Amino acid sequence: MPLSTEERKELYGRAKGLRKDIVTVTSESGGAHIGGGLSALDILVLLYFKYLNIDPENPSWEERDRFVLSKGHAAIAYVPVLARRGYFSFDELKTFNKFGSPFGMHPDSRRIRGCDASTGSLGHGLPMAVGMALGARVLGKSFRTFCLLGDGECNEGVVWEALMAAAHYKLTRLVPIIDRNGLMIDGPTETVMSLEPLEEKLAAFGFDVLSVDGHDLDAVGGAIEHAIAAGDPSAAGETVGSGGKPVCIVANTTKGKGIDFMEGEVPWHYGSIDAELRIKALESIDRMYEAIGGLA
């Protein structure tokens, strides 16, 4: 079902506010992996404020959907989303990346309320998500597992082993989403280690592949709904999570999205923001959402 006018306005408003939150936390913490956090943010907003079946008041609820941030360095986007979703106070993020804080550069599920997996060592998130999806089947649970990967992370061989397993076991209630911003810490992905033709490779591994604009909330939402429908046991006519082809979403994004001096710039894989850059960044975010046409 397409986003309603009210949903679209609310979600774009959430994304605008969270982009500003990312700037605030980065400036106060001394630095963060801000570029990849901004590229992934719109996906996180859709998942946490529309699609995930979760309860912030009961983060250990057994029937909840699971989410794994395989690109764990994007915690700078992930933890503000968790805070704004109600898992903990946003004020707690004043300690982000400080000694003794539960909030480091990568998420720690033992210390962050609402976090399902500790990640940061690239390539390990999707295998964990495959295990969660298989566990759900064994236990007869109907929850879904979403996993957000970076495109540079797809250099890791274990990612492809996990994709092969997911397709083999027909894990249609597992939804991998690749943040395809085209850049990694050392440069463009196609220069460092070419991924193309990415969609064709994923299809060859047994996935129904959807390639969308990762900043278009309607497009990403439509892809997520397609993936959800594919994992509906009533539609598949089989046991929970054991239908046909699982769906993999390739979300084409821009590193540093929303901040003009960061967009598409490799050095902003990780960076710090002083008082002057903070003002410029916030002004750039305002301009981007003004151009969208009053949605936020």
Give the model confidence (pLDDT) of 39-73 as tens digits.
999 999 999 999 999 999 999 999 999 999 999 99
| Per-residue model confidence (pLDDT) at position 69 | 98
- Comparing C-alpha atoms, which of 265, 246, 244, 248 is closest to residue 256? 265
| Per-residue model confidence (pLDDT) at position 234 | 55
Residue 68 in tokens:
């794994």
pTM, full prediction: 0.95
Over pLDDT 90: what percentage of the chain? 93
Kindly tell me the sign of the dihedral angle through the C-alpha atoms of 215, 54, 60, 238.
Answer: negative
Query: Given pLDDT bands bounded at 50, 70 and 90, which one contains residue 235?
Result: very low
- In sequence order, the β-bridge partners of residue 210 are 249
Task: Please say if the pLDDT value at position 292 is more than 90.
Answer: no
Cα distances (angstroms) measured from residue 296 to each of 18, 62, 86, 157, 165: 12, 34, 21, 40, 41
| CA 291 to chain centroid | 24
In the block, which residue shows the tokens 């996993």?
147
Task: Please say if the pLDDT value at position 286 is more than 80.
Answer: yes
Highest CATH level, class, for 5-292: alpha beta
